[in-house]
Structure 1
Amino acid sequence: MKRLSLVLAACAVAAACSPQAEPAAGETTSARPAGDAMMADNKMGGMYKMAMMAPAEGDSEATRGYKAAMMSMMTGMPAYQGNPDADFMRQMRGHHQAAIAMAQVELAQGQNAEAKALAQEIITAQEREIGVIDTWLAANPT
């Protein structure tokens, strides 16, 4: 129980310290995307989401891998800079990296040939798209 409490506390600190832009002057919760509204309503609050990603007693190796991929994505996302194009590219890069990590878990732990084939397709596609994103970011520094 102590270990879980420490993990949850670390997650809370990481979420609280995540460098995200403040809402623009005059922006209301209703003007923000649906996910932000859910966060404001506390239906999927940060602590709840982070707790869902914490390893739990009885989790399979695959579940621990999926949770680690999601935790890494959520805590490693870059701060929004206010440039919609650059923000999209940076956020999608993190999303793609998490998809690759989850697909690698499927390849290592999965049993179903169809699911494993899709995982490999995801890795190939996401790696290609990360290359496109990296090229765009290099040409469009902000």
Structure 2
Amino acid sequence: MKPFATILGLGLLAACSEQSAPGNTATDTAHAGMSHDAMATPNAGDSDATRGFKQSMADMMTNAPPYTGDADADFMQQMRVHHVAAVAMARTELAHGKDAQARALAQAVIGAQQKEIAQIDAWLRRRTSAGQ
């Protein structure tokens, strides 16, 4: 996995974590006692970008398939949903972001994540056709 994909993955995992980063009092205060659903719910004052980011996170949580107990299948299915959310977040950045570095990273994320989604889809198809 490329370094930027690793960083993005860690960022998304942190965003989905029940705990905020230590010492991040702004996050602690803003999200204290809030559920994932509450953090993903658009507010009247949200910018278009914030609404887009929240929608990608809400979609990830809503579209995640149930766990099967099969580590391989669960990893692939959950990572697929995670990658789809990463692509949606990157598209939101491209639609609303101004910083050249952030936009370049978003474009790279789209390419890398779409490639990995294709790999996951191929794996899932092979597994299904093998009857597993």
1:121 aligns with 2:98: no
In the TM superposition, residue 64 of structure 1 has moved relative to its aligned partner by: 0.2
TM-score (normalised: structure 2): 0.72
Partner of 1:93: 80
Offset from partner CA, 1:68-95 (integer Å, 9 cap, x none): 0000010110011111000000000000
Residues 42-61 of structure 1 mapped to structure 2, 5 A cutoff: 48-61=35-48
**Unpaired runs of at least 5, structure 2:** 1-17, 20-30
Structure 1 residues not aligned, in runs of 5+: 1-37
Q: Return closer, same or farther for 1:78/1:47 CA change in 2, 3 Å cut-off.
A: farther
Give the partner amino acid of 1:140. R
Q: Distance in 1 between matches of 2:124 and 2:34?
A: 32
| Aligned alpha-carbon RMSD (Å) | 2.4
Q: How many residues align?
A: 103
Write the deviation string for residues 34-80 of structure 1: whole angstroms up to 9, x where unpaired: xxxx59xxxx9x96111011000210000000000000010110011
Q: Match of 2:9?
A: none
Alignment-mate amino acid for residue 102 of structure 2: A
Deviations 1:79-133 (A, max 9, x none): 1111100000000000000000000000000000110000000000000000100
* Cα distance in 2 between the residues matched to 1:121 and 1:59: 26
**Runs of 4+ residues deviating >2 angstroms:** none
Q: 1:131 matched to which residue of 2?
A: 118
